[in-house]
Structure 1
Amino acid sequence: MLTREQLNEIKELQEVCENEGGFELKLNFEMLANRVENKTEDFFHYEDGQLVGFLGSYGFGNKVELCGMVHPEYRRRGIFSRLLEMGLEEAQNQNIETILLNAPTDSKTAKEFLNTIPCTFTVAEYQMKWQKTELTEDAAVTLRPSVSTDDREAEIQLEVSGFGFSEEEARMHHQTIRDNSGDQRLIIEANGKTAGKMRVSEKNGEAWIYGFAIFPELRGKGIGRKALTKVVINADQKGLPIFLEVEAKNAHALGLYESCGFRSYHSQDYYQYLK
């Protein structure tokens, strides 16, 4: 588990790197703040008592994402290479099948480094923010908390069909969310039947939407848009800015979000490490 001091050191280093580079790093502080004991997921490099290098490992089933940074004044000294080596070794010790390296699209130093290691671009992920748009709720679609065993099974199957998880990975990912996340897990119903799911996090004065998926046979019927509309209206009534993330390869989802008033403001690129 990370201490409060370590979390503050990471935030301070993140601020320095982002201000210098003009980009945003995806360090997922919710996961950092909920690390479990006896598991190595974070790697640090200090110089004279100051944190100047950090790499975080974020597991999702049998996939892990690595994201890190080095203080601008300490770059080109091999610090990030050593941190990455430790992160890769730990992932391989855990027999992780897929290792993804996460870098801000606008980071030139990250792209230069990635050109030196065996990896290939896989997908871009866009962060989007809702812009005030007139939306109308539809009573045909409802949202309710996920509470039953059947609800949990539906969530797992939606992870498989919506995000490409194997069933084992989906169960591991779902258990991690249940154990370590305070997000609202919502079931989407249409005509009284389970149609999809999403998670909503309301923290630090912001609302974030995650894990939004509709069963394949029910897509294209407007269910997703109606469900998203309900969540957006609810968060807007609370006075919260609303954010979400979507992969660029999912053109349908991107169009859905844009039709509800979301606009992209930042993107992250993912590269698969070639073992």
Structure 2
Amino acid sequence: MLTSKQLLDIETLQKECEAFDHIHLKLNWEMLRNRETDQLDFLHYENEELISFLGLYAFGSTVEVCGMVNPKERRKGHFTRLFQQGMATAKQKGFKRILLNAPASSTEAKAFLTKNGAIYGFSEHQMKWKEKQLDEVEGFTLRQASIADLDMRVRLSVEAFGLTKEDALAMESRIDGDEDTDMFMIDVNKETVGKIRVKRENGEAWIYGFSILPTHQGKGIGRKVLKRVVKEQSESGHSVHLEVETLNAHALGLYESIGFQVVHAQDYYTYD
């Protein structure tokens, strides 16, 4: 578990790096604030100042990695040491897949990852909704998920996102511990056909895990659900955000048609 001082130091360093490099770092703050162990975070201090940070984020058998180093302290080996410690820990814990995350516009991050043998895998857009008129929609019901929905939530993650059953179960169990998150099930004619999660923090509403069973895709359900969720979150005073893989042309087109615009991009590299 990270202390309040460590969390503040990480946030301060993040702001400094983002301002200096004109980038957006994806540090998964909802996970940082709810750590059950300190074995996934690596911090290097000098004179009580945080110089570099590396975080591991477990998603079932996959671990995502993101880090940063003070602009004034770069090229001194600080981050390399944390990276080596982090990779050793990831392998020790038995993760089957290691994904290294870097802002798409960061040439320094790309150079570091390539130098250390990482291979580019895919990119992800972070999108923000630009306010526009959305019509009222019907033909489905959104309801808060209950314990009885766990099997369907796992099934949706397996069928819509290609996760293993074990990874899907681990992710859904972690989500249930987040008090700032709403998990909604999507029902059509009293049959559950999908799910959508909304995480609210600091005036922002983030949409995650939006999925419809393959047998019910192509019927316009997803578009209707997204319109309602975006409309409700916007009317409650939140800016609305989501993430999508750049290769998912169908989803990208859907989001853009409703009013989402790309604001940041993240690259993911695989590491053995």
State the partner residue of 2:93: 94
Q: Tell me how far apart the structure 2 counterparts of residues 268 and 174 of structure 1 sit (CA, whole Å).
A: 23
The one-letter code of the counterpart of 1:12 is T
From the superposition, tell whether residues 169 and 227 of structure 1 become closer, same or farther in structure 2 (CA, over 3 Å): same
Q: Deviations over 1:20-70 (max 9, x none)?
A: 000000001111000003x51100111222101000110000000000000
Kindly report which structure 2 residues correspond to 1:33-52, keeping only aligned pairs within 5 A, or say none.
33-37=33-37, 40-52=39-51
Runs of 4+ in 1 over 2 A off after TM superposition: 179-182
Q: Partner amino acid for 1:19?
A: A
Deviation at 1:182, TM superposition (A): 3.0
TM-score, normalised with respect to structure 1: 0.96
C-alpha distance in 2, partners of 1:181/1:156? 20
- Measured in 2, the distance between the counterparts of 1:94 and 1:214 equals 32
Q: After superposition, where does 1:1-275 map in structure 2 within 5 Å? A: 1-37=1-37, 40-149=39-148, 151-273=149-271, 275=272
Q: 1-side partners of 2:55 and 2:98: how far apart?
A: 13
Secondary structure, aligned partner of 1:233: helix
Unpaired runs of 5+ residues, structure 2, are none
Aligned mates of 1:140, 1:62 — CA distance in 2 = 37
Give distance in 1, aligned partners of 2:90 and 2:111: 23
* Distance in 2 separating the partners of 1:168 and 1:86: 27
Is the 8 Å Cα contact of residues 180 and 201 (structure 2) preserved in structure 1?
no
- More deviation, 41-50/97-106: 41-50
Deviation digits for residues 193-235 of structure 1, max 9, x if unmatched? 1111010012211111111111111111111010011101101
Q: Percent identity?
A: 46
Name the SS of the counterpart of 1:36 in structure 2: coil
Root-mean-square deviation over aligned CA pairs = 1.1
Distance 2:112 2:199 in 1: 33
**Distance in 2 (alpha carbons) for counterparts of 1:148 and 1:80:** 42
TM-superposition CA deviations, 1:67-98 (whole Å, max 9, x none): 00000111111111111111111111111000
Aligned equivalents of 1:190 and 1:267: distance in 2?
A: 34
- 2: CA distance between counterparts of 1:54 and 1:258? 34
For this pair of structures, how many residues does the alignment match?
A: 272
**Matched residues in 1 for 2:270 and 2:215: separation?**
30
Alpha-carbon distance in structure 2 between the residues aligned to 1:238 and 1:175: 27
Q: Is the 8 A contact 2:56 2:65 kept in 1?
A: yes
TM-score by length of 2: 0.97
Alignment partners' CA distance in 2, 1:121 and 1:216: 28
- Paired with 1:6 and 1:67, the residues of 2 have a C-alpha distance of 16
* Equivalent-residue separation in structure 2 for 1:211 and 1:102 (angstroms): 19
Amino acid in structure 2 at the alignment position of 1:269: D
1:20, 1:148 → 2: CA distance?
A: 45
Distance in 1 separating the partners of 2:265 and 2:169: 28
Matched residue type, 1:109: E
- Residue identity in the other structure for 1:14: Q
- Does the residue aligned with 2:187 lie in a helix, a strand or coil? strand
Measured after TM superposition, the shift of residue 181 of structure 1 is 5.0
